[in-house]
Structure 1
Amino acid sequence: MTAEQTRGEAPTGAALRRGPFVEGERVQLTDPKGRLHTITLGAGKQFHTHRGYLLHDELIGAPDGSTITNTAGVEYLALRPLLSDYVMSMPRGAAVVYPKDAGQIVTFADVFPGARVVEAGVGSGALSMSLLRAVGDQGSLHSFERRDDFATIAKANVREFFGGDHPAWTVTVGDLVEQLPQHVEPGTVDRVVLDMLAPWECLDVVADALAPGGVLIAYVATATQLSRVAEAARDHGGYTEPSAWESMVRGWHLEGLAVRPQHRMHGHTGFLISTRRLAPGVTPPLRKRRPAKGSYGEGEAESAGGATPEDFGERPVSDKKVRKLARSLAPAEESPTQESPAQTSPTRPGVAPSEEEADG
């Protein structure tokens, strides 16, 4: 029985999260040293390392949380990857939104089952998966991405995770400012999530699409971008006073009495800034706290113009690498049709690399 045949009438992707391992699904193997290896189960296949190999057939039909011993006597723990595991190991073109930030976005944007959500900057599809989990089959997520190759990679990753196309997901290749008014009616969107280079340029069109009380949350890499979004939201006049924060996660070493923080941590990945749409014709209450003199320089209001990710200290993504990855992931009937200038979901500095993985 294949992964597709086990879905039945369950919510999209639910059947893949329970029951014995089936052919075609991904399994995460952990060796005695804690190293992770992700394989896709296939009848008759083998997973090789420099210390022996193991048979996929011995895992197919085994319960989640089983152990398996390879030909050299090395024991592996076999588990289904969690969403956070999958995101960190999946093929990527643009940098992914880390699970710690995706969780904050879903919670603080109050993304609920059945919500109508717009996302701009689909990148590699990491945040899209969390949003689709939150809105469910009865909600809707409309993702906009300027790069066709990024969209191809994201769709392949989401399709792999859910075991097929998600009924709530629509992907449009194009600029949000141009495309959003053509796809949604004014005042009908519950939540908007922006992961892009210059989100302040989209505040007018987002305000038109959001329902009164709707939430806008933006994910930006630098303090400069954070300031620009906040000031643009205040200048617009149709949003509440914005709030901003970042989250840092530090793991702990647990070994007998040696309980201490780990040396490595996921520090700064990005800033989050959130605001809500006011009702039509309503102006925000006057701020009681006045900014200090000198808080606003003369050049603060200038547009980003031709700013590039490099201008914000971000590492560029190799077009050659992205095209190669998109071709390898695209279904036979799909292929990237054109190259577009990179704007959304840029690679971010300071993001720790994912665990080393091996494919079976």
Structure 2
Amino acid sequence: MALRGPLELGEKVQLTDRKGNMITIQIESGAMVQTPHGHILHDDLIGMSEGSVVTTQTTPRRAEDVDKKKPWKAARSIGGWQYAVMRPRLADYVLSMPRGAQIMYPKDIAQVLSLGDIRKGMRVLESGAGSGALSIHLLDAVGELGELTTIELRPEFAHIARANATVYFGGDPGWWSLLQGDFDSVAATLPADGYDRVVLDMLDPWNRLSEIERVLAPGGVFLSYITTTTQMSRLAEALRNSERWTEPQIDETLERSWKAQGLSVRPDHQMIGHTGFLVLSRLMAEGAPALRRRERGAKDTYTDIDREQGPEALESLGLRDISDRKLRKVIRDLDHQRSVLESKQGN
């Protein structure tokens, strides 16, 4: 993918109008893109500089082609509408590219790259290529000096991911090994301590910890993207129950854009809320147990009260009690508030 210079045949181009509506296309010889306001010829874009403005042309229509029940639709063929021409950012490309599986949002991918400390020259193992959104970012981050190995169970998803990456990079990235099959079988063939980072996007990552411990180098970072609280909790407990993993770090990223126009400065009414959780942990060296924080004995967050019977069961939970001094203050405040209310009603 070219970074600068005139636009070329085969490149992706992003067209944005004054309302912020975007159209992403790939330039093809002799092709035409139909917009809501006329059409644009691809040949007119070849050789154009980024930051230029292109104007739509009126699309000729025969009278018999006009829908008489919806005549207003004919207005969509009228030209004269302007679009700014740019090469898409990686985030724009990912959101607009063809996809089969649901992609990971850019806000979560950014956290994967940052919290996972994924840098140039690293060897990264990924499972769950999907449509290739995360794979493209990982390939871009490690660069040609690094290596990305991706395990994808479904061949059709592998095909989509490779095609999206090939279009983005302008050719098949040679530092990417895309392997098809289930994670356990494929990971068993990979070298021990062969990877600096492992990133999973799958339903049951807690069942893969033993194999990850084998292929990840000591000190390496493990990151898992999961969408539900039950998955997050189960993975966190599995990591804690093992002596090989540091205390899991759990993050969720929310995204909200703002409008700033004159004196009207406010957040957008819509935002990208929950999409998933990122669970991060690092692998300890063999024979060096992970350090765990000592929990206070007064709290029990593991006992299921529904399975306990009798008042002695409640006592065994070690529930936090309120002090007598605090209790007297609460009662005194409430009695005062009630007396004020009663005096008001008596008047």
TM-score range, shorter-chain basis? 0.7 to 0.9
Identity %: 46
Residues 296 and 43 from structure 1, CA distance in 2 versus in 1: closer, same or farther, beyond 3 angstroms?
farther
Distance (whole Å) between structure 2 residues aligned to residue 296 and residue 223 of structure 1: 19
Deviations 1:136-174 (A, max 9, x none): 001000000111111111111111111111111011111
Which residue in the other structure is 1:134 paired with?
Answer: 141
Which residue in the other structure is 1:75 paired with?
Answer: 82
| TM superposition shift of 1:298 | 10
Question: Which structure 2 residues correspond to residues 163-182 of structure 1 after superposition, within 5 A?
Answer: 163-182=170-189
Deviations 1:160-197 (A, max 9, x none): 11111111101111111121120x21112100001000
Which residue in the other structure is 2:204 paired with?
Answer: 198
Partner SS state of residue 222, structure 2: strand
Letter in 2 for 1:195: D
**Among residues 154, 161, 166, which one is paired with 1:154 in the alignment?**
161
| TM superposition shift of 1:50 | 4.1
Where relative contact order (Cα < 8 A, 6+ residues apart) is larger, the structure is 1
Deviations 1:1-49 (A, max 9, x none): xxxxxxxxxxxx4xx2221110111111112221111111122222223
Is contact 1:204-1:236 (8 Å) kept?
no
TM-score (normalised: structure 1): 0.76
Letter in 1 for 2:22: L
Root-mean-square deviation over aligned CA pairs: 1.6
Kindly tell me the number of residue pairs found equivalent between the two proteins: 284
Which residue in the other structure is 1:122 paired with?
Answer: 129
Is contact 2:6-2:50 (8 Å) kept?
yes
Distance (whole Å) between structure 1 residues aligned to residue 295 and residue 6 of structure 2: 58
Is contact 2:247-2:292 (8 Å) kept?
no
More helix by share: 2
Distance (whole Å) between structure 1 residues aligned to residue 170 and residue 305 of structure 2: 53
Is contact 2:116-2:222 (8 Å) kept?
yes
Deviations 1:89-144 (A, max 9, x none): 11111110111111100111111111010001111100001111110001000000
Pair 1:66-2:57 in alignment: no
Pick the structure with greater CA Rg.
2
Question: Which structure 2 residues correspond to residues 336-355 of structure 1 after superposition, within 5 A?
Answer: none
Which residue in the other structure is 1:109 paired with?
Answer: 116
Question: Which structure 2 residues correspond to residues 254-265 of structure 1 after superposition, within 5 A?
Answer: 254-265=260-271
Letter in 2 for 1:130: H
Pair 1:237-2:243 in alignment: yes
Gaps of 5+ in 2: 58-78, 307-347
After superposing on structure 2, the runs of 4+ consecutive aligned residues of structure 1 that deviate more than 4 Å are 296-299
Question: Which structure 2 residues correspond to residues 211-222 of structure 1 after superposition, within 5 A?
Answer: 211-222=217-228
Residues 50 and 105 from structure 1, CA distance in 2 versus in 1: closer, same or farther, beyond 3 angstroms?
closer
Residues 297 and 200 from structure 1, CA distance in 2 versus in 1: closer, same or farther, beyond 3 angstroms?
farther
| TM superposition shift of 1:297 | 4.5
TM-score (normalised: structure 2): 0.79
| TM superposition shift of 1:296 | 5.1
